[in-house]
Amino acid sequence: MLSENIKKALGPLGLEKVAPGDYAKTGYHLEVAAAPNQMPAVAQVMRDQGCFLESLTALHFREHFTLVYHFAHYEELCRTVVKAVLPLGQQAPTISHIYPGANWYEREVYDLFGIRFTGHPDLRRILLPFEADFHPLLKQFEEEAEKSETKADA
Amino acid sequence: MLEPLEEKTYILNLGPQHPSTHGVLRVVLEMEGEFIVKADPDIGYGHRGHEHMAENRNYLQFLPNMGRVDYLHALAFNHGYCMAVEKLIGLEVPERAEFIRVITAELNRIASHLLWVGAYLLDLGAFTPFLYCFDDRENILDLLDRITGSRLTYCFYRFGGVPQDIDQEFIDGCRAFAKRLRRRWKDYDNLVTKNIIFIERTKGIGVITKEQCRLYGLTGPMARGSGIPYDIRKSEPYSAYPLFDFEIPIGENGDIMDRYLVRMREMEQSLRIIEQALDKLPNGPIMAEKVPKRIKPAAGEVYAAVETARGEFGCYIVSQGDVKPYRIKLRVPSFANLSILPEISRDTLVADFVAILGSIDVVVPEIDR
Amino acid sequence: MIKIGLLEEALNLARANSLWPMTFGLACCAIEMMAAGAARFDLDRFGAGVFRPSPRQCDLMIVAGTISKKMAPAVVRLWEQMPAPKWVIAMGNCAISGGPFYYPTQYAIVPGADLIIPVDVYVPGCPPRPEGLIEGILMLEEKITKRGRLRKFRDVK
């Protein structure tokens, strides 16, 4: 079983959580929580296990970002989600040297959330114009939200 | 005496308005003579902020957007999003509705592939196949138009089923269409597949290895053309697909020709699925009984994947127990598929570059979201 | 300006009946534009089927789809590159007003082609059917020549 193998391979990394997921409910076979600086090691394990990077995105919460990595496998049905909590204002290490496909995903996350990836070869905006000065998917918590509401009303 | 030029390379700007970039894709090419040293795709010219929009509307209000992300295979995107929300709120879809979803999504897949064949051949300089493909495609659109009410940007599936049942006329129409399209395969073969110009331009060009597929996360015909039998319909069965017997066509060499052949054979498989679904079509309701009027899922998250004409569409929804989603990430196939372009277009001719770019089957607003 | 009445009228008649649109698709509507040019709807019947890839050879720009803020400068430049006389059709709700994508905090799109270039005919729909685009082109013919094929249908009470 692939999920067992991944679990075993991830063992030595000392991750926060490696647990089987509820596939019927969430669509995950394996749920992993890691620190952002463990991500290159996790990605290397996933690459050695033959998985591909399905998607990479981020979530913006009040205190922190959460980087969400999805991995899947071509031959065997096994979707692994890896979540890395990143405090606001910090940088995450890139995994684009392990998965070249992550290059664009990381650029997208930088573009939409403003998260910088250290070691990324080419961290430019990808979707918005290069001269844009905002990151659209950042949540506007309270005071900012009020400001934008009054702006829209005026 | 003339001084030799210092710089050996020059920059060629392809797009954003260029007939062979399928919309508004811009590629900055660094050229050395006729050969490409570096290709740098610049995307985002079709960025419409779908994900930002999702956070500002409730679940049902976001549904029409799904027809406009990938407008060529809109029903698969409908399907993926509906599946994700249904998983999130724990809704069972009646069997007949699943069958109708499969039939319409497969019809839509054929329409999408037909459009690709026509538009791709147009890129390569052949105009006639375009007319043939659109002729066939219009027949599908007529069928779908009758039951969904639109020709292109469908918003046909609802959470818990479909809003409109299919009737005998639609079933007969589907069967007649399958018969008609099967007769056309020979035309396409003679016109395109056996065409020496087409063969010369596609054989051995734009080769992608299996390992490259994996590193870039390619899915759909791009991966299958390289010999990876990865199709969500088989590998992660959803909806009514496990009930049908169909094959996953794969290529051997991973070149453009293989990707073309994979798509052509896929259409035949889609016809098979449609016919089986029509044969087995069960009676019963088309809508789940207890669909909440106001969709307010508990906090949690879900990832649902479907196979679109271009590859895997994954819908990742994070809910915080609100009527609006906290975040929706659309994992679109062409985004990953296009990211391999700089790699495979190195040291190719500009003419081949156009052939390679077309073979990826990009839908730019889908990449940009 | 010297106005050469009769010649102008003849020229306009010629222009209206051989509008050359630009191969210029932005989003979903572009597919319906292609469908309008293809086998069934056949824009060639109205002389408008010669899609040109270069703006310098065109006299009709069909803005088919959402104009993103990133694309807007390119749209303006394309329009400027077209030789006069030139016309613009805004095809679909996005090109008319931003359509389904416009809401107060929208950051990515230009709500309406007429904010950046002058538009002659608006064709509503999301996307408009090819018939809609054809009607738009016939309306444009009418605008150019002050007479048209549609008028006789419309005047019937």
Domains assigned to chain B: 10-368 (1.10.645.10)
Q: Tell me the nearest-neighbour CA distance from C68 into chain A, angstroms.
A: 9
Query: What is the pLDDT, as a whole number, of residue C156?
Result: 55
Rounded to an integer, the average pLDDT of C128-147 is: 86
Distance, CA of A2 to CA of A31 (rounded, Å): 14
Question: Hey, are the CB atoms on A152 and C104 less than 8 Å from each other?
Answer: yes
Closest C-alpha among B303, B317, B285 to residue B160:
B285
What's the pLDDT tens digit per position in B169-217? Answer: 899 999 999 999 999 888 888 888 888 888 888 888 888 988 888 889 8
At B113, the pLDDT band (50, 70, 90 cuts) reads: very high
Q: Tell me the nearest-neighbour CA distance from B88 into chain A, angstroms.
A: 7
Query: What is the pLDDT, as a whole number, of residue A17?
Result: 79
What's the pLDDT tens digit per position in A97-116? Answer: 888 888 899 999 998 888 88
Query: What is the pLDDT, as a whole number, of residue B125?
Result: 82
CATH value at residue A20: 3.30.460.80
Question: Hey, are the CB atoms on A136 and C107 less than 8 Å from each other?
Answer: yes
Query: How many CB pairs (< 8 A) connect B and C?
Result: 102
CATH of C17-145 given 3.40.630.10, 3.40.1160.10, 3.40.50.12280, 3.10.290.10: 3.40.50.12280
At A154, the pLDDT band (50, 70, 90 cuts) reads: very low
What's the pLDDT tens digit per position in B9-24? Answer: 888 888 787 766 677 8
Name the interface residues of B facing A (CB cutoff 8 Å): 43-44, 47, 49, 51-52, 55, 87, 213-218, 223, 228-230, 235-236, 300-305, 312, 314, 316, 318, 326-327, 329, 331, 335-336, 339-340, 343, 368-369
A 114-153: CB under 8 A from B: 125-129, 136-137, 139
At C155, the pLDDT band (50, 70, 90 cuts) reads: low
Closest C-alpha among B286, B285, B337, B330 to residue B309:
B337
Structurally, chain A folds into a number of domains equal to 1
Nearest to A148 among C69, C105, C108 (CB): C105
Alpha-carbon C80 to chain mean position: 15
Q: Please report residues of C whose CB lies closer than 8 A to that of A129.
A: 69-70
**ipTM, interface predicted TM-score of the complex:** 0.86
* Residue with the larger pLDDT of the pair A134 and C147: A134
Place of tokens 């498989």: B269
What's the pLDDT tens digit per position in B47-100? Answer: 888 888 888 888 888 888 888 888 888 999 999 999 999 888 888 889 899 999
**Cβ–Cβ contact A113 with B under 8 A:** no
B123-130 LR contacts (CB < 8 Å, sep 24+): B123/B19, B123/B20, B123/B354, B123/B355, B123/B357, B123/B358, B124/B197, B124/B198, B124/B201, B124/B354, B124/B355, B124/B358, B126/B192, B126/B195, B126/B197, B126/B198, B128/B191, B129/B188, B129/B191, B129/B192, B130/C38
At B130, the pLDDT band (50, 70, 90 cuts) reads: confident
Q: Tell me the nearest-neighbour CA distance from A74 into chain B, angstroms.
A: 6
Distance, CA of C76 to CA of A28 (rounded, Å): 47
Domain map (residue ranges) of chain C = 17-145
CB proximity list for C27: less than 8 A, separation 6 or greater: B23, B46, B48, B68, B71, B364, B365, C64, C65, C66, C94
Q: Which secondary structure element, helix H or strand E, spans residue B169, and what is its range?
A: helix B168-188
Closest C-alpha among C101, C94, A134, A123 to residue B369:
C101
DSSP string, A74-132: SSS---EEEEEEEETT--EE--TTT-TTHHHHHHHHHHHH---EET-TT---SSS-TT-
Domain range for A23 is: 2-153
Closest C-alpha among B181, B130, B71, B120 to residue C32:
B71
Average model confidence (pLDDT) for chain A? 83
**Cβ–Cβ contact A136 with C under 8 A:** yes
State pTM to two decimals.
0.89
Question: Hey, are the CB atoms on B215 and A101 less than 8 Å from each other?
Answer: yes
Report whether pLDDT(B334) > 80: yes
Distance, CA of A25 to CA of B91 (rounded, Å): 11
Query: What is the pLDDT, as a whole number, of residue C2?
Result: 61
Query: What is the pLDDT, as a whole number, of residue B160?
Result: 85
CB contact at 8 A, B363 and B68: no
